[in-house]
Amino acid sequence: MFVSLTNDVICRSAFGRKYSEREDGKKFLMLLVELSQLTGNLSIGEFIPCLSWINRVNGFHARVDKAANEVDCFLDQVMQEHQINAGPAVIGERRENFMGILLKIYNDNTTSVSIDAENIKAIILVIFAGGTDTTTATLVWAMTELLWHPIVMNKLQNEIREILRDKHDINDKDLENMHYLKAVVKETLRYHTTAPLYPREAREDTKVMGYEVASGTMVLINAWAIGRDPAYWDEPEKFKPERFLNSSIDFMGLDFQLLPFGAGRRRCPGIKFAIAQVELVLANLLQKFEWELPQGIKPQDLDTIELHGSTIHRKNPLFAVATHCYF
Ligand code: HEM
């Protein structure tokens, strides 16, 4: 459900409509899963160039080519549909969306900015690839931890319900006052850093903690390990949102002990989009429902085994039962 939700939200912002009900949209969703697995795979040729033939022999290159072609076809089709519908009257009727804005720049020869079809497809793809999987995984891990820690769940529900009372629609102002919710989200991003590794290239020869790093070397930042480093965190293996209540540590890329969205010029540009979505979904789920594990499973029996890839998901799906609905 979280996959469909985050995908629908991104589709509505990027394309102005949902694709989850259409066959090609469902296929695109599966392709995103395949892409996540492919980008999470160790590509031996990148580290030892003379062994790059292995990726051809073991079928890795063929899988990459197939996924790239299929993604390209889907994005071509979405672009064509938008081109056909992109008259000013249609834009006026529907809310403007990201693809529409990019196509306006593409079709407009009078501005100094130019963009071609390949650029548009690449931008849309990176938003999908970067925005759906990570947000989904963060929501699943947040619910996992809340089900595992009923006291935290209770405290969070009390905060949310006290602020909202019987108000149905939650807005930005309500979220601003939910300090414990913000702490729960930060703690989830620290403890379950869903995008664990991101690459950089050393621009000059340097020495880090006694290691020589030559110019041009790919350096992988392990944000997952940093988030659990006992040198920076008290009891790092415990899920304790309270650690953020009286702390100014944030995930915007300036506090280097908490880097779930990266740092510097290539920092995630979707932070606000992601946080708004995660906070809104959690606030809605916890205000409106009581949650339990199915079939008498006790919180301490809930597993938190991780599936490794470019995004860290739960290995086994999370089943949660909404036992009481208040609306
Ligand atoms: C909880 C959700 C999310 C997490 C944990 C996350 C995390 C990250 C991380 C770690 C990076 C690499 C940063 C770096 O190299 O310094 C990144 C890049 C990126 N993210 Fe996110 N992200 C999330 C949601 C989103 C959303 C919702 C969008 C779009 C709406 C998005 C769009 C992107 C894009 C386009 C990049 C590539 C930026 C570049 O290469 O310059 N992300 N994200």
Q: If you measure from the C-alpha of residue 136 to the centroid of ligand 1, how many angstroms do you get, rounded to a whole number? A: 13
Q: Is the CB of 129 under 6 A from ligand 1?
A: no
Q: If you measure from the C-alpha of residue 267 to the centroid of ligand 1, how many angstroms do you get, rounded to a whole number? A: 7
What's the ipTM? 0.99
Give, using CA atoms, the residue closest to atom 20 of ligand 1. 268
Predicted confidence band at 35 (pLDDT cuts at 50, 70, 90)?
confident
Largest CA distance in the chain: 65
> How many Cα atoms occupy the beta-carbon half-sphere of 7 within 13 Å?
20
Predicted confidence (pLDDT) per residue in 165-222, tens digit: 989 999 999 999 999 999 999 999 999 999 999 989 999 999 988 999 999 998 999 9
C-beta separation of 194 from 260 below 8 A: yes
Which stretches within the chain are classed as H helix?
Answer: 2-15, 23-40, 44-47, 53-57, 60-85, 88-93, 98-107, 117-148, 150-164, 172-176, 179-191, 223-227, 271-288
Predicted confidence band at 44 (pLDDT cuts at 50, 70, 90)?
confident
Q: Is the CB of 272 under 6 A from ligand 1?
A: no
pLDDT at residue 87 greater than cutoff 60: no
Q: Which residue of 261, 275, 313 sits with most ligand 1 atoms within 8 Å of its CB, as the best mutation to test the pocket?
A: 261
Strand partners, 201: 218
Give the position, in ligand 1's atom list, of the atom nearest the Cα of 10: 30
